[in-house]
């Protein structure tokens, strides 16, 4: 039975005072604040240390499609970096809106294949839905921090997401491996963006409270789909520590690293028969 979960869609983070709300927009990607606290780094995630450091396992020799995908991702990253250099939370909002789209595309195509009787793989559906659910909560966190306040930011994020959805749908139908590679590059960028932000703004983030939506998801809320997107690290035996905004961004960063690992695993031809969600391996 699924326990009642608080409505997270319109969380205005009421636990923050006006002064704290103003402080939420102060951290900048260029702030030279070192991350002095030991954190769960992506290279340590998963059996055998698989993570972002192994992101080229199946793409050492790049083909023309892979180089083209890399070029498109670099263009997208360049635009986002220029537009949101001094507005990190708006940047994260756009990034999370776009980053979750491929999982919608995968699910759409997989449901189509299953409806037509072409292919059925429940574990892959479960993992991709778990990924979408995880990214959904990342987006809610960024919205609670004010990342979606400006209309232009919302328009840019949603317009880009709409185009991205159909691009990945077509690419996934033509070549699932390249569609997963596309997502791998986007998630790698997300991981490094959050990692730099955490390292440079650790002191400020540790002084700010965690948004309620983050506490509900990572610490106190229902366990529904909490770790189904993981394919390398074992499921959480306990909740991660969420004492402040720093802890929230550490969790989000590590989630992105796991998304990278999952996208790498999906590119392996053997996963057609061996791919399982984390709950099946316990």
pLDDT in tens, the chain (282 residues): 323 333 333 343 444 454 444 444 333 333 333 333 333 444 443 333 344 544 444 444 678 888 888 888 888 888 888 888 889 999 999 999 999 999 999 999 999 998 888 877 778 888 899 999 999 999 999 999 999 999 999 999 999 999 999 999 999 999 999 999 999 999 999 999 999 999 999 999 999 999 999 999 998 877 666 666 665 555 555 578 899 999 999 999 999 999 999 999 988 877 655 555 554 443
Q: Where are the domains of the chain?
A: 63-281
At 223 the pLDDT is 67
At 70 the pLDDT is 84
Model confidence pTM above 0.75: no
Q: State both tokens at 199.
A: 């390292």
Nearest one of 94, 58, 89 to 76, comparing CA atoms: 94
At 5 the pLDDT is 34
Q: Topology of 63-281 in CATH? A: Ferritin (1.20.1260)
At 241 the pLDDT is 85
């Amino acid at each position: 039975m699924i326990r009642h979960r608080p409505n997270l869609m319109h969380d205005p983070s009421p636990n923050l005072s006006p002064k704290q709300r103003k402080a939420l927009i102060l951290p900048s990607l260029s702030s030279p604040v070192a991350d002095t606290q030991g954190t769960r780094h992506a290279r340590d995630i998963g059996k055998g240390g698989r993570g972002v450091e192994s992101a080229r396992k199946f793409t050492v020799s790049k083909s023309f499609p892979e180089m083209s995908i890399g070029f498109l991702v670099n263009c997208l990253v360049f635009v986002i970096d220029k537009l949101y250099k001094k507005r990190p939370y708006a940047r994260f909002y756009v990034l999370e809106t776009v980053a979750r789209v491929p999982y919608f595309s995968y699910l759409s195509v997989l449901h189509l294949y299953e409806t037509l009787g072409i292919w059925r793989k429940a574990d892959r559906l479960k993992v991709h839905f778990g990924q979408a659910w995880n990214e959904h909560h990342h987006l809610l966190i960024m919205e609670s921090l004010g990342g979606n306040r400006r209309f232009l930011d919302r328009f840019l994020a949603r317009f880009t997401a709409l185009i991205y959805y159909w691009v990945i749908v077509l690419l996934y139908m033509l070549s699932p491996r390249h569609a997963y590679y596309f997502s791998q590059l986007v998630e790698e960028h997300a991981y490094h963006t959050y990692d730099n932000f955490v390292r440079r703004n650790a002191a400020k983030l540790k002084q700010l409270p965690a948004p309620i939506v983050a506490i509900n998801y990572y610490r106190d809320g229902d366990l529904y789909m909490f770790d189904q997107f993981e394919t390398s690290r074992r499921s959480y035996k306990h909740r991660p520590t969420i004492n402040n905004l720093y802890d929230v961004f550490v969790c989000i960063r590590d989630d992105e690293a796991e998304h990278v690992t999952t996208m790498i695993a999906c590119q392996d031809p053997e996963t057609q028969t061996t791919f399982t969600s984390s709950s099946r391996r316990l």
